[in-house]
Amino acid sequence: MSQVQARFFTENKKYLIDDVPFSIPAASEVADLSGVINKLLEAKNDGHKHVEFDFLVRGQFLRTSLASHMEKENISTEEVVEIEYVEKFTAPQPEECIMHDDWISSVEADSEWILTGSYDKTARIWSMEGKAVMTVAGHTDVVKDVAWVKRSENLQTGSLVVNDASLLLTASLDQTIMLWEWNSERNKVEARHCCRGHAGSVDTVAVDPTRTKVCVLPTVEEDEIEEPNRPRKKQKTEQMGLTRTPLMTFSGHNEAVSSVLWMDAEELCSASWDHTIRLWDAETGEQKSTLTGSKVFNSISYSPLCRRLASGSTDRHVRLWDPRSKDGSLVLLSLTSHNGWVTAVRWSPSHEHQLVSGSLDNVVKLWDTRSCKAPLYDLAAHEDKILCVDWTENGLILSGGADNKLYTYRYSTCVSDAGA
Amino acid sequence: MTKLKNKKRNLEENEDEQLPIFDKDGGEDAHLDDGDEDQGDLSDSEESVFSGLEESGSESDDEEEEDEEDGSEEKSSDIEEDKTADGDGDDQLSAKEVIKPQTDGQNSKEKKKKKKAAGKEGGEESVASVRDSGLQISSQVDEYEHDTSDEEDIRNTVGNIPMEWYKDYPHIGYDLEGKKIFKPIRNKDELDEFLDKMENPDYWRTVQDKMTGADIRLSDEQVDLVHRLQQGKFGDVNFNEYEPAIDFFSNEVMIHPVTNRPQDKRSFIPSLIEKEKVGKLVHAIKMGWIKPRRPKETTPQYYDLWAKEDPNSILGRHKMHVPAPKMKLPGHEESYNPPPEYLLSEEERLAWEQQDPEYRKLSFLPQKFACLRAVPAYSRFIHERFERCLDLYLCPRQRKMRVNVNPEDLIPKLPKPKDLQPFPTTQSLVYRGHSSLVRSISVSPSGQWLVSGSDDCTVRFWEVSTARCLKTVEVGGAVKGVAWNPNPSICLVAVSYDDTVVLLNPGLGDRLVCTATDQLISSYEEPEEVMDQSVQWAVAEGEGHEQGHRLILKHPKTVRQVTWHGKGDYLACVMPDNGSSLQVVIHQVSKRRTQNPFRKNKGLVQCVSFHPIRPYFFVATQRYVRVYNLIKQELTKKLMANCKWISSMAIHPGGDNVICGSYDCRLAWFDLDLSTKPYKVLRHHKKALRSVAYHRHYPLFASGSDDGSVIVCHGMVYNDLLQNPLIVPVKVLKGHTITHDLGVLDVTFHPTQPWVFSSGADGTVRLFT
């Protein structure tokens, strides 16, 4: 088998070529195929510039030679192979390295500001250029998680109208969640509420898509007489007053809850050390379904684009789940390349196939689900454990860890590919 | 003796040259002898019963009998001589002469005795030789006539006959092969004899052998013997005839007395009862009822070597079949018309010829013939056939007995480690911060925090999930032991250093619990009467309180280990001391009371532990683990660890199994229901074990050793009493570097996850998941 009949196609109009089968050497690799396409495009229009392409054979990225890939995937060599080609993703470009005083426990960024929580008991707000804008101090213990609640230009708080005011949440080891109001114009931060109710440290918070509710998770179970060793999840609505109590408690996990998120306005999802991912009805507080794994879950992420859950666990794998499956415990795919616990996963907000994961082995990996054996790129900048990653809508990847550094990467997803 | 005398006399007579008389006497003697013998025979015939019986007995008896007969012959001749010659015979002889006619049997017996005595005196050989020489000397007088000797010259087979019968023949008898023995050539006449007598210095000691007629020169010993006999001395030089007499028959009464009472008459005559019995036997033999001798079976006896084997079974017949060595099949070279490449070229042929036949590759030269008809006879045929026969004959016949053992059968059937998951497999986190060896670690009951005590005089609190050191508390000495209170509603950590145990409130976890713990401690009220305790309780104040110190317990000695009871109120401390009974103290924190549970010192206490459920208390000394019932206050069990020095101990959460690690690299698993001896001993570690631990939920246990490794084993305990625990080693975890010959110092499991923590001499704590 030296030659393979292949037909190339793409969804990018810019790089369309004739829909005819070609006979190409079976031993050719990505670079060879890319050269072939470029030659064809040059023949078609003179003004073509050289573009690196990546190739998909039946939804799987080509990483080895065509022959071995087809053998592995059990693709018949008798028929004409359909090969899709896309513009190659360029490597994320490192942008900033923001130094902190202590370990970075969490990061959340939007298009303008970066919010980080640190082990020095503060949360910080940074500009995209890495300039420290604000330090939010108020917790008596380590800040474990941060979240933007509202980035509104005009916020009605009580009677006075404040411009450029944002709301942010910090969750801490001191069992409290603080809601802060930050005025970016005046650069003033002010604690609005302190939420109590947890019997242990608060490890994770999540804000629902309508930005009105907060879901908060403790890692340590409250010792209740009726239900010992049950963790609680708390949900709050924004109410006036300095101290808030939970709206609702979700009980069911046997151990510490490590991650929580809103899937939509009515449904939320939590991952725990008791090897389960549970889905809850936010209205009634009932448990809807359970996904059971075999290892402790450290982090989960949900992509509304592909409606998949990604989980990072202590056994080095990133697993993809279908949350709609009723029987649970159905792993769609596992991405294996890390050497340590996967502490953070985050789906791309703009691309349905891509996600980023951070691990204790000091490496952030950028994955494409179409290539599950090897990641697209390894971002090995950190010198110590990675504790958090984030991916903003404008294509910025952030990672923070135990080396006190927050790295940002500019990842330019191909515009042409965004709609795919 | 009589014989000797006889010979002596012969010599004397020889000297006296009374030959003819003696000669005559001798003839008569012989004649009388015959008569005597007849008489003896007659008497014997009377006792034919005896002789028959004796014949059926052993052969030695027969010989004796013959001797007796010979003896009687000689004896009688002696007596005759005595009669004829001067009566210089001693009294005994004459007495015998008197006795003789009465009973021959008695006579013969006496003679036998005498003969035995003679044998004792000289030893048979010397006597025989002397007798021989004596006879020869007498034969010089009368060569062949007087021959009473029973000593036959085996060279001459003529037997006991008068040699004069051969007087006229050139030979004197026949040798064993039936050939004639010729008389030596005697061309000596009287003159020669005389000249010989004059000139030959050895003439006087030369005698003639009557059987062969040859001259024999007597040796010095023989001459000496003759002289001694002539002088009336004993033939044996060494015999001392003047030995001190021992008076056997004295008046002293001995334990086994001997008497000189003469033998009873009945001892000389055959008993009537015996005679009757013998008579019956003789009658029975005569009637053919019994056969005196069973006829010997002449047919040789064989046994069937193959009797046990079944001849029909093929295997039985061919079990030891050795196949003949196979011959090499002929190749192209052997062909009469081989392909040209097999034919040797000229050089090859020359080389072949020059080669030693042994080293030739081919034993023949391949040759090409036009047709098969032209092929001559093969010259090496006989040779090769012979070699083939040799091959067959010499082929090794010994069978090699191969035992077919499948190596997999030797491996015990254990479940695969894969099936025993989950268990820790990889190192996930390293908790760095300590600057010296970390002696002890403990995990909070929630599993969120870890405490470690080190030789750098600090206690550190870690967040398990991120390996973040959240708190460092300094204490006044190298920390020997830390223990987190297992009660989740109390937030206390017991830390031991030097002679002090400090109860720390780390302030981690639920604030309410922390404050509740502080309140619990501060709400203590001093009792009315103050008890005299060996341990001083004090409340920490000032800076210590800021750091988290709550209660300080001053012990009289260095505290090595602290351990909590499952309820979290009682705290046991170990102060190893060989001389004192105060080695283990149990504190009750809520009442601030201390008690010493043991009055006696049963050995150096290594570690102690509370039973997780029942009121038992485990105390490990160097070699034994003692189980005490705390309520009944008695010793329940004593486990023998079979090791030299126990280092650590852990109790299964079910409470019925105990593991002990020892400094001699062993880990012993005890099943308390089964025995006081180890159910299983594992020797997986290369060096001394420092710590062992059970998991609270999973069927796992781990051991840490000086070789820097942690070995995790699956240890399933079944509720079924009939099923023994299943122990499978599943993983060796490495990561700690060995410093100062110390590796892992403590291991402990996460309370909920299948994770194991280990602390090492390299100042790190590691988490394996």
**Residue B691: count of CB within 10 angstroms of its CB:** 25
- Residue B97 belongs to what H/E stretch? helix B91-99
Mutation choice for A interface testing from B449, B510, B512, B768 by most A CBs within 10 A: B510
Nearest chain B residue to A272 by CA: give it: B753
Question: What pLDDT shows up at residue B279?
Answer: 93
Choose among B489, B511, B753: nearest Cβ to A273: B753
Contact flag A142-B466 (C-beta cutoff 8 Å): no
Which three-class secondary structure string do you get for B173-234? EECCCCCEEECCCCCCCHHHHHHHHHHCCCHHHEEECCCCCCEEECCHHHHHHHHHHHCCCC
Choose among A199, A298, A340: nearest Cβ to B512: A199
- Residue B517 belongs to what H/E stretch? helix B511-522
Question: What pLDDT shows up at residue A242?
Answer: 59
Q: Please check whether residue B29 is in contact with residue B81, taking contact to mean a CB–CB distance below 8 angstroms.
A: yes
Q: Which residues of B touch A255 (CB under 8 A)?
A: 447, 752
| pLDDT band, residue B255 (cuts 50/70/90) | confident
Percent of chain B with pLDDT over 90: 12
Give me the DSSP letters along B242-266: TPPPP--S-SSPPSS----PPPPGG
Which of B478, B471, B482, B481 has its CA nearest to residue B546? B471
Q: Please check whether residue B607 is in contact with residue B648, taking contact to mean a CB–CB distance below 8 angstroms.
A: yes
- Residue A166 belongs to what H/E stretch? strand A165-172
Higher pLDDT, A4 or B607: B607
Higher pLDDT, A19 or B366: B366
Higher pLDDT, B729 or A328: B729
Which of A114, A112, A110, A89 has its CA nearest to residue A407? A114
| pLDDT band, residue B202 (cuts 50/70/90) | confident
- Residue B497 belongs to what H/E stretch? strand B493-497
Quote the CA–CA distance of B275 and B272 in Å, as a whole number.
Answer: 5
Choose among B426, B429, B446: nearest Cβ to A220: B446
Mean pLDDT, residues B144-158 taken together: 58
CA triple B667-B673-B679, angle to 5 deg: 30
Residue A63: both structure tokens together: 């990483």
Which of B229, B132, B213 has its CA nearest to residue B173? B213
Predicted confidence (pLDDT) per residue in B687-717, tens digit: 889 999 999 888 899 999 988 899 999 888 8
pLDDT per position in chain A (420 positions), as tens? Answer: 577 788 888 777 777 777 778 888 878 888 888 888 888 888 777 777 777 888 888 777 877 788 787 777 777 777 778 888 887 777 788 887 888 888 888 888 887 788 888 888 888 888 888 788 888 888 888 888 888 876 655 444 444 444 567 778 888 887 778 888 887 777 778 877 777 777 777 777 877 765 455 555 444 333 222 222 233 334 443 334 456 667 777 777 878 888 888 887 778 888 888 888 888 887 777 888 888 888 888 888 888 888 888 888 888 888 888 877 766 556 677 888 888 888 889 888 888 888 888 888 888 888 888 877 788 888 888 888 888 888 888 888 888 888 888 888 887 764 444 333
Question: What pLDDT shows up at residue B234?
Answer: 84
Question: What pLDDT shows up at residue B530?
Answer: 65
Sheet order of strands, A297-303 included: A297-303, A308-313, A317-321, A331-336
Quote the CA–CA distance of B524 and B531 in Å, as a whole number.
Answer: 15
Contact flag B509-A387 (C-beta cutoff 8 Å): no
The amino acid at residue B359 is Y
DSSP state of A371: B
The amino acid at residue A206 is A
Q: Please check whether residue B491 touches A, CB under 8 A.
A: no
Question: What pLDDT shows up at residue B317?
Answer: 55
- What does R_g of chain A's alpha carbons equal in angstroms? 24
Which of B704, B706, B705, B702 has its CA nearest to residue B715? B702
Would you mind telling me the total number of residues written for chain A in this entry? 420
Q: Which residues pair with A134 in a beta bridge?
A: A125
**Residue B498: count of CB within 10 angstroms of its CB:** 17
Quote the CA–CA distance of B488 and B564 in Å, as a whole number.
Answer: 13
Domains and CATH numbers, chain A: 3-87 (3.10.20.90), 93-153+164-221+239-410 (2.130.10.10)
| pLDDT band, residue B313 (cuts 50/70/90) | low
- Residue A97 belongs to what H/E stretch? strand A93-99
Q: Which residues of B touch A340 (CB under 8 A)?
A: 428
Choose among A119, A220, A223: nearest Cβ to B489: A223
Quote the CA–CA distance of B575 and A319 in Å, as a whole number.
Answer: 51
Quote the CA–CA distance of B79 and B94 in Å, as a whole number.
Answer: 8
Higher pLDDT, A54 or B10: A54
Question: What pLDDT shows up at residue B315?
Answer: 57
Residue B58: both structure tokens together: 């052993």
Residue B411: both structure tokens together: 């491996």
Question: What pLDDT shows up at residue B320?
Answer: 66
Contact map slice: B 420-459 vs A, CB within 8 A: 421-422, 426, 428-429, 446-448
Contact map slice: B 499-558 vs A, CB within 8 A: 509-513
Which of A265, A304, A259 has its CA nearest to residue A278? A259
Question: What pLDDT shows up at residue A243?
Answer: 66
Domains and CATH numbers, chain B: 427-524+532-768 (2.130.10.10)
DSSP state of B388: H
Contact flag B428-A340 (C-beta cutoff 8 Å): yes
Contact flag B769-A314 (C-beta cutoff 8 Å): yes
Strand residues in B578-615 grouped as ranges (E): 584-588, 593-595, 607-610
Quote the CA–CA distance of A336 and A345 in Å, as a whole number.
Answer: 13
Question: What pLDDT shows up at residue A231?
Answer: 34
Residue B171: both structure tokens together: 């030979």
Q: Please check whether residue B466 touches A, CB under 8 A.
A: yes
Quote the CA–CA distance of B209 and A354 in Å, as a whole number.
Answer: 133
Provide the whole-model pTM. Answer: 0.63
Contact flag B466-A402 (C-beta cutoff 8 Å): yes
Query: Over 80: is that where the pLDDT of B84 sits?
Result: no
Query: Over 80: is that where the pLDDT of B253 sits?
Result: no
A→B contacts (Cβ < 8 Å), by residue, are 103, 105, 119, 142, 174-175, 199-201, 219-223, 255-256, 258, 273-274, 294-296, 298, 314-316, 340-341, 360, 385, 387, 402
Question: What pLDDT shows up at residue A141?
Answer: 83
Question: What pLDDT shows up at residue B712?
Answer: 92
Quote the CA–CA distance of B492 and A382 in Å, as a whole number.
Answer: 37
Contact flag B510-A103 (C-beta cutoff 8 Å): no
Sheet order of strands, A113-118 included: A104-109, A113-118, A122-127, A132-137
Q: Sign of dihedral through CA atoms B147, B150, B154, B156? A: positive
**Residue B681: count of CB within 10 angstroms of its CB:** 15
Which of B505, B512, B481, B511 has its CA nearest to residue B491? B505
